[in-house]
Chain A
Amino acid sequence: MSEALFTQDIVKDTLVAIADEMFDAMVRTSMSPVIYETNDFAVGITDADGILIAQGSGDAGFLATLDTAVQALLARNQGTKKIFPNDVFMTNMPYEGGGTHLSDITIMIPVFFEGVLVAWAVNKAHWTEVGGAHAGSVSTEATEIFQEGLQFPFVKLFDQGHLNDVLVAVIRANVRLPESTLGDMYAGIAAARVGERRLVELIARYGAGVVLASMDAFLDYGESMTRSALRKLPRGVYEAEDVVEHDGLGNGPFKICVKVTIAAERIVADFTGTDRQAQGPINCSFSGLVTAARCVLASIASSEAPVNGGSFRLLEVICPPGTLVSAQSPAPVSVYYEPLVAAIDLMWKALACAAPDRLPAGHMRSVCVVFISGMHPETGELFVLSEPLVGGWGAASYRDGDNGQFSCGNGDTCNVPVELFESRYGLRVEQYAFHSEAGGAGRFRGGKGVILDYRVLGEEVFVTYAATRCVEPPWALSGGRPGSLNRLEILRLDGRLDTYTMCTRLRVRRGELIRLITATGGGFGDPRERPRGAIEADLRDGFVTMQQAIDDYGYTRSETWEGMSG
């Protein structure tokens, strides 16, 4: 009996190791910096029914996208009759299972053993280009999905091992960077095939019965880990409300609200009451909302718990269709990640008082993605960059917030090194530093946001930018002060300073400066209770100015401060 138990444990660990290997294969084969540097992707394994078994970490924001995509595929095919060995499926449909925005493509490979469908190897990754009205396939001005790029409705990319040449030709003809786009496609296939091969080996080693039983046991294990975490939370109903400021077309603010019920063996997140879907592209579909709720649950459950379908059995997500976080066709969705991150932050805010050891005060709450395109001044070739930004995180009951970390919707996301950035794009980076804007004061201080300056070296570039938390700052806890705001500034040649929170294809000319600023996180506790030594350390480090120390912390100057380049 114990032998079977440990065999199951070993199979579970192997399933996680397979997801890790798929992750590695994806990073190393991708053609797009947004995948290989910012890790804007996820890989995983589901069982034959599309229940998530193991997921390789890339972005937190993809947590409900792999399994629900397989489930939607099965629903569309009314089961498995049309699914064969060596098929490869592809989808980016936003309103169905797995949906985010059109740039994120899901690749699904059915895994067969002795002719029987036993599992799926899946990944989803952000391709730099899928066509549409604007380079980079994201705009803040779209009013319909059709402006945002190609749609691949659960199509077969390979049919029993035969590549769908017509589909590839259509993609090649409709995207701006076909080599990169098709390279990403092949990377996705390679990563999924690694998963397929390893699963087949695992089954050959232990037998299908043992592996499938281990998958089920792994789901039960996930459930039991989550259950024990939930037990630590005080039962009750927790509510929160917030806004997503605008939709890019001048509409807004949009209210989002949640009621979280923690019961004995259940957690229910009800987003009823959230505003209707927007005219502009700041909508996310229901699978994005499920991702949001799962992220918060995983965050409470601690890092030891596996992230699999069993862990989410106790979670119920409710929202009527057609809201900002449950958008329906043909709502534009290219900036879907902003309402998704807002939904995470909202549920987190609701539960912060219930799980103070796991949830600090509010963070920058925006992915702050910037898209810049133009001609490289040296090579004359088109470049399209898209990158999320780091910002400040909130303070907790026992420590200051973290400085300069990617948002809760990201994860193992890495910034692009300045030295690579400058070699690749026609821009010079002049500053990448923490700023000292006011905000986030507290007994424990919010983490600092950053300031990032790009000087345009070519004739012109075009900037697309979308951020929230540009009016309502990150929230504080227990008497701390709210954080600061996200924004884009353009320093024009004539000395004018333009500020934006959303823009599409904004023209910026040679010599002008693109300045990106991210928010400082919320504080925890009364700033007047911050120890003098900590305030003085902040002064020395330049995290707090003397004026802020006096105004926010009640600091009284006692000596002169000496520091370098602070």
Chain B
Amino acid sequence: MIRAATDVGGTFTDIVFYTIDSLTGQVGPVSGAKVDTTSPRYDIGVMGAIAKAQIAPADIEFFAHGATIVINTITERSGARVGLITTRGFRDVLEIARGNRPDLFNFDFHKPKPFVPRHLRVELAERCTCTGEIEQPAALESLPEVLAFFRREGVESIAVCFLHAYVNSANESAVVARIRHLWPEVSVLPSHAVSGEWREYERTSTVVLSAYVHPIVQRYVESLDQSLSMAGLRQSPFMMLSSGGISTAAAVKSNPISMVESGPASGLYAATRLGSVLGKPNLMVLDIGGTTAKCALVKDGKIALTTSYYVERTRQSPGYPIQTPVSDLVEIGNGGGSIAWVDRGGKLHVGPKSAGALPGPIGYGRGGEDPTTTDANLLLGRIDPDQFCGGQVQPNLEAVRTAFEVLGASLGISAIETARGVIRIANANMATALRRVSTHKGYDPRDFALVAFGGGGPMHAVALAEELKIPEVIVPANSSVFSAWGMLLTDLRHDFVRTRLLPLTDSGAAQILEQLLAMRAEAAATFLRDVTSCDEHALRFEFFVDMRYVGQEHTVRVPVEPDQIVGHVTAIAERFHRVYEQRFTYRLVADIQVVNFHVAATCPVPKPDWPQKRITGYVLQDALTGTRAVDFGLLGEHDTPIFDGLRLDPTMATQGPAIIQEPNVTLVISPGHHLSVDAYGNYRVRLVDSTADTRSRS
């Protein structure tokens, strides 16, 4: 039997799979393949990847799938025409938004355009109070007229958001039931089904974007399911979620927004699993792609989830909020394709504009004219020109050099100096992002290992670890298909988040427990309904509460256990004080309040042991392919040995300066640091902290 995962990325669709001997349970080696992504018919690429991997769909017993369809539909504005139904008096909440102007001195500022124009935002008489009493039932009698209007206007998908539906969803449910009765074929989503949290603008935005992608995701999942089943796959695919878990196709169809950040989530999840295999529960994770770099922090083997997620948010724009559980990561516009430029004040910048995959960096020779981070890496000898893009492209180094000469001319420096500057600025941007997930939250990078993957991760990781004093860098084996690999390591998952204000007191404890148990029961019921094979006793639950000092708004998330609540209020309070103090440097003598409840339920999926690297029997010298001059920035140019990573066996070790090359990986190790290959084929770089301080002051 085969277990397989496919990950649809912006450029490539990856497949990763392994076999299990159905008699012995023996796990075979992990293999992978890459094909071009086929937008907009992504399922063609998926089928192509399966074909290229030469596996028979009928032999696949488990198939996981990660898709970018949700985020692509939003960023390309190719979703459905949405009609919104709100509480009377509040149809403009979506457009007023929070009224803020992040670009505060820009008097020509414009808020991002709402996804539903005003005339398609319809109000209904209904009202629920903040304590959850239905003061006025929804005026269902006006729905036929509303729906007739929506039909005339070509509405394909309806979002419903009423005030306080997070406490009592009866009015939303009644309206949705009536709509389904009156117009069965239209997509309709109530806000409480996508978010159980308060803040009406954020929840409205979430349900609107859900409705916007709903019909598209539904069609996509159905056509994928159909293609796969026609090819012989016996079970529907499982879909990767933003929370780091997977879910059934049916669950995703009813809550499509839960997939919005699934790509980064699976890579992060794989890193977390790798950490647990290596006995490294505390990690900083760095995934550098073509356009962006993503950073996250893993503490005690866990990635924090957040529901404060935004698409298209920048320093200048508030973006669009989505209240769905997403791995808490920082993403910056700084990838291999990020363009270097000099502003009017003579300051060098890298990104956020990217050359993307097309035209791409100058080195690609596809018409790119703007110098990028990848081009700087080429010019400095860090990337092997003969192995560029897996050896398929011979880069025009002269064109690259000329572009850096032009850029450097405005600063009065040479092409090489400019390229060094680009690498330093790019690294500084990424270091800032890594600080935002660590030091800003009260964590010391010295207590973490840095796991780096994606096309650019291994190229920059060692320099970043030097800067942040991270003692070890881990570049995982198969790092270029790491995201797809993550999907084979995760579990079926459902997250339930609800806002309910309760005091953290002895008398409040019973209600806190009651709320958590109710959510656990809801989670179990959802699993039993969605996954026929699910055994209730196998379910695992994690419980969190978001707490704050009374009077504050923002909260801190603290894990709890149901059997340690009643009678344990002081201990929970102490845990909150501690987390709060770590994050904010002080604690208050004040009452504590619980605001949100979060239950994460997982149903374990069988997983392979982490595969060990096969011993080839080569010696280190066999892996050495030559030397070349590599510029290590402030550490100068060094004649650097180049190793073929595919010939490096476990237990082999060497010392920087060194470069390890695989077809899609370049690991740059600056002078002095120790490299070894572990039993799994991961590259482990142990940093020698000697030079950092003296060097920078010279």
Contact = CB atoms under 8 A, between A and B. Distances in A.
Contact of B107 (A1, A25, A27, A358): A358
A28 B697 contact: no
A563 B119 contact: yes
B537 interface: no
Contacts of B424: 6, 10
A179 B435 CA distance: 32
A344 to B, nearest CB: 9
Contacts of B549: 31, 183
Given A299-B107, A360-B107, A5 B96 contact: no
A417 B553 CA distance: 11
B609 interface: no
B111 A542 contact: no
B89 A453 contact: yes
B108 A357 contact: yes
A31 B420 CA distance: 46
B576 interface: no
A338 to B, nearest CB: 18
A415 B96 CA distance: 9
| Most central of B98, B123, B163, B418 by chain A CB within 10 Å | B98
A221 B347 contact: yes
A57 interface: yes
Interface in A131-187: 179-180, 183, 186
Nearest to A306: B345
Given A21-B440, A359-B107, A564-B122, A225 B345 contact: yes
A419 B344 contact: no
B101 A406 contact: yes
A207 interface: yes
Nearest to A394: B107
Given A221-B345, A432-B89, A564-B146, A542 B584 contact: no
A305 interface: yes
A419 B104 contact: no
Counting chain B CB atoms within 10 Å of each CB, the highest count among A6, A27, A431 belongs to A6
A287 to B, nearest CB: 17
A5 B411 contact: yes
A13 B429 contact: yes
B369 interface: no
Given A6-B425, A432-B93, A541-B117, A419 B584 contact: no
A307 B118 CA distance: 36
Interface in A385-428: 390, 396, 399, 402-406, 408, 410-415, 417-420, 422-423, 428
Interface residues of B, number: 81
A545 interface: no
B101 A411 contact: yes
B409 interface: no
Interface hub of B123, B347, B411 (most chain A Cβ within 10 A):
B347
A409 to B, nearest CB: 10
B343 interface: yes
B552 A31 contact: yes
Contact of B90 (A60, A402, A431): A431
Contact of B100 (A30, A359, A406, A422): A406
A183 B580 CA distance: 14
B166 interface: yes
B615 interface: no
A26 to B, nearest CB: 10
A540 B129 contact: no
B697 A206 contact: yes
Interface string B141-155: 000011001001000
A307 B105 contact: yes
B92 interface: yes
B91 interface: yes
Contacts of B129: 422, 428
Contacts of A299: 105-108
A37 B105 contact: no
A210 B411 CA distance: 19
Per DSSP, chain B at the interface is loop
Contacts of A5: 411, 413, 421
B551 interface: yes
Interface stretch (B197-205, B266-274, B291-299, B353-361): B197-205
B110 interface: yes
B346 A303 contact: no
Interface in B88-139: 88-93, 95-111, 117-119, 122-123, 129-130
Contacts of B634: 3
Interface string A23-36: 01101111111001
Contact of A414 (B99, B118, B346, B421): B99
Contacts of A60: 104-105
What band does the interface of chain A fall in when counting residues whose beta carbon is under 8 Å from B? 35 or more
A304 interface: yes
A25 B584 CA distance: 7
Interface string A205-229: 1110010000000000110110010
Contacts of B585: 25, 190, 193-194
Contact of A183 (B202, B343, B590): B590
B383 to A, nearest CB: 20
B81 interface: no
A486 interface: no
Contacts of B551: 31-32, 179-180, 183
A30 B152 CA distance: 49
Given A60-B104, A565-B91, A186 B588 contact: yes
Contacts of B146: 564
A363 B202 CA distance: 26
Contacts of A305: 345
B209 to A, nearest CB: 18
Contacts of A30: 552
B145 to A, nearest CB: 8
B242 to A, nearest CB: 23
B107 A414 contact: no
A390 B107 contact: no
Interface string A1-24: 111011101101110010001001
A29 B697 contact: no
Contacts of A290: none
A2 B92 contact: no
Nearest to A3: B634
A563 B123 CA distance: 12
A224 B343 CA distance: 11
Given A564-B119, A564-B122, A404 B96 contact: yes
B90 A221 contact: no
B417 interface: yes
B3 to A, nearest CB: 42
A295 interface: yes
A565 B123 contact: yes
Nearest to A406: B99
B624 interface: no
23 contacts: A13-B425, A17-B435, A28-B554, A29-B584, A36-B552, A36-B554, A60-B105, A183-B551, A183-B588, A205-B693, A302-B106, A396-B108, A402-B110, A403-B96, A406-B101, A412-B104, A414-B98, A418-B200, A433-B90, A434-B96, A450-B92, A542-B119, A563-B149
Given A60-B105, A403-B92, A404-B92, 12 more contacts: A2-B411, A9-B425, A14-B428, A31-B551, A59-B104, A299-B105, A303-B316, A358-B108, A359-B107, A413-B101, A419-B199, A433-B90
Interface of A: 1-3, 5-7, 9-10, 12-14, 17, 21, 24-25, 27-33, 36-37, 39, 57, 59-60, 63, 179-180, 183, 186, 189-190, 193-194, 205-207, 210, 221-222, 224-225, 228, 295, 298-299, 301-305, 307, 348, 357-360, 363, 390, 396, 399, 402-406, 408, 410-415, 417-420, 422-423, 428-434, 450, 453, 540-543, 562-566
Interface of B: 88-93, 95-111, 117-119, 122-123, 129-130, 145-146, 149, 152, 163-164, 166, 198-202, 315-316, 343-348, 411, 413-414, 417-418, 420-421, 424-425, 428-429, 432, 435-436, 440, 501, 549, 551-554, 583-586, 588, 590, 634, 693, 696-697
